[in-house]
Every structure is written in C-alpha cells, then in structure tokens.
Structure 1
Amino acid sequence: MADLDQSSSNDLSVDSTDSSQDSKLEFSEDEETLITRMYKLVGERWTLIAGRIPGRTAEEIEKYWTSRYSTSQ
C-alpha cells in the first residue's frame, strides 16, 4: 500500500512539472508585442530582451521566438 501511495505522488510531481513548463511558454499580448519590438531593435540578444520582461528568462524568450517565428517550414 505504501508503494502505491508513493508512485501516485511521483506521478503528480511529474504532471505539475509538465503543466508549469507549458504555462511558461504562454505569453501575454503585451509580452509578445514587447518581444517583437525589442527583437527589431536589438536582434537575438535574448538576455537584453528578458531584462525588460519581469519573470522571464532569456531561454524562455528564445524558445518562444523560435517556436513562433521559425523559418524552417
């Protein structure tokens, strides 16, 4: 019985990690606008862009940009 409880708690921790990862890729309209404007000004300087958006990392912004505006289609 203890093993069953432990495995279900592990499943919950995996699920919560996955959902928090997805929510980080959701950007508000204001954030998207700012990213686009900053990209036009400074290019792929993700750290500089992330510095203008509280709570976002350069990696998140770069991942968002490449998933949204990737030219390899």
Structure 2
Amino acid sequence: MDNHRRTKQPKTNSIVTSSSEEVSSLEWEVVNMSQEEEDLVSRMHKLVGDRWELIAGRIPGRTAGEIERFWVMKN
C-alpha cells in the first residue's frame, strides 16, 4: 500500500484584463425611475452595496448598468 497522501493543488484563476477607455458620465443617458424604484434602489444599496446585478434582479425591466448609472448620477 502507498502511504503517501496526495494533496490537491489549488486552481489558479487567470485574470484577463482589457484596456478600455473610461467613459465620462456626461456621455451617459439619464435614467428615469419611479419613486418606488428609487426607494428600492436606495434600500437595496444600503443592504448590499454596489452589487448592481443583485439590485437589478429585484426591479423588473431594469439592467445592472441602468441601476449603476442612476446611482452614480444621483450621488
């Protein structure tokens, strides 16, 4: 019998970065939201922070990009 234990080597994740130009907020289209949506975004942001995908999942018809753009332009 082989008494040597094999240890698993942790997988290394390679991070691929792309060089993209930063877009000025002046080029962003204004996102209009109802008062209910604004309240929900504010409450969710207090709970989960900048997790835009999670917040957008709670607001039908909204994308994470729209939520983030609304938040950045509001604050």
TM-score range, shorter chain: 0.5 to 0.7
Taking the aligned partners of 1:36 and 1:48, their CA distance within structure 2 comes to: 13
Q: Structure 1, unaligned stretches of length 5 or more? A: 1-20
TM-score of the superposed pair, with normalisation by structure 2: 0.60
* Aligned structure 1 segments of 4 or more residues deviating by more than 2 angstroms: none
Pair member with larger Rg = 2
Runs of 5+ unmatched residues, structure 2: 1-28
Structure with larger RCO (C-alpha < 8 A, sep 6+): 2
Q: CA deviation at 1:37?
A: 0.1
Secondary structure at 2:39 match in 1:
helix
Measured after TM superposition, the shift of residue 40 of structure 1 is 0.1
State, as a whole percentage, how many aligned pairs show the same letter. 57
- The Cα RMSD (Å) is 1.0
Instruction: Name the residue aligned to 1:67.
Output: 73
Aligned residues: 47
